[in-house]
Structures are given as structure tokens and as C-alpha cells.
Amino acid sequence: MTTIYIDADACPVKDETLRVAHRHRLPVFLVSNGGLRPNPNPLVQIVVVDDGPDVADMWIAERIGAGDICITGDIPLAAKCLEAGAQALRHNGDAFTAANIGNQLAMRNLMNDMRAANPFHQGRGKPFGKADRSNFLNALERAVQAAKRASNCIFK
């Protein structure tokens, strides 16, 4: 069965993900360093990990598998999810794929180097808007449908 993992610390689409998961009756793990409200839905499990860099990412990477879906903005975590046979989506609905993950990792590393070289650079991304939320919902629905089709093929 497909499971959805949410890298929840800074995720702006938790509620949208939970609605889609509820509609499809899929289990969800909300993984965070803390600060999440309990959810009464029995399909939702809140996992609070220790503080520290990438602890939530490691928890997800150790458990995610083929047919699962990860919601994250973290490119190295997305790469680990893809290696495990899972799907990974950004908060705006963009899919991480085998075809684009190498370029995204390289760009991330380049930007980290540029920020380190210029500590006064205050680069800001574009604001998260309604179109991003809508694109995410459409992408998540497509990912869930693809996972269901794949699991049906495996068991036939």
C-alpha cells in the first residue's frame, strides 16, 4: 500500500496532502522536530524526531520504499526517495524525477557555494501562492493514481 511521508517542518501543504490521503485512505507520516498538532485521523501518524540537521530526512529515507510518495523541498532527501523507488514532490507540485534530480543537486550545491562566498547575499525565493497550492494538489492526485496503477500491476 502506498504511504505518504511529509517532511513537515516547513511544509505549506500539509492540509492539502491530508485531504488527498483521506480521500484515498492512505496512511501518512508527518515527520518533524516538533510543533505539530495532533491529528485525530487514524491514518495520520505524527513522528517527532530529535533536533538536529537532517534527522527528519534520515527517518523518512530509512523507511520510504517503492510505491510511496514523499512531500519535501529538500533535494538530497528527494534523491534518496527516488533511489528507494518512491516518488517525491515539491510543495508547488513539481516532481523530482530520475531525469532532473542530478541537475537539481548540482544547482543546490552551486547555490550553497555562492551563498558561502557572499554572506551578505539575501536571496529570496518567490512567494508561495494559490497557483502553487493548486498545482500541488493536481500533482499529488496524479502521483497517487500512478502509485495505485503500479501496485495493481504488481499484484496481478
Show pLDDT as tens, one digit a residue, over the chain (156 residues): 899 999 998 899 999 999 999 999 999 999 999 888 888 999 999 999 998 888 999 999 999 999 999 999 999 999 999 999 999 999 999 999 988 877 777 776 666 666 667 766 666 667 889 999 999 999 999 999 999 888 776 544
What was the pLDDT predicted at 145? 94
Helices first, then strands: H and E counts in the chain: 5, 6
Phi, psi at 46, each rounded to 5°: -95, 125
pLDDT for position 153: 62
User: pLDDT at position 9, please?
Assistant: 85
Q: What pLDDT sits at residue 155?
A: 43
CATH topology of domain 4-155: Rossmann fold (3.40.50)
- 107, 116, 125, 127 from 119: Cα distances, Å: 18, 6, 17, 22
Look at residue 118 in the predicted model and tell me its pLDDT: 72
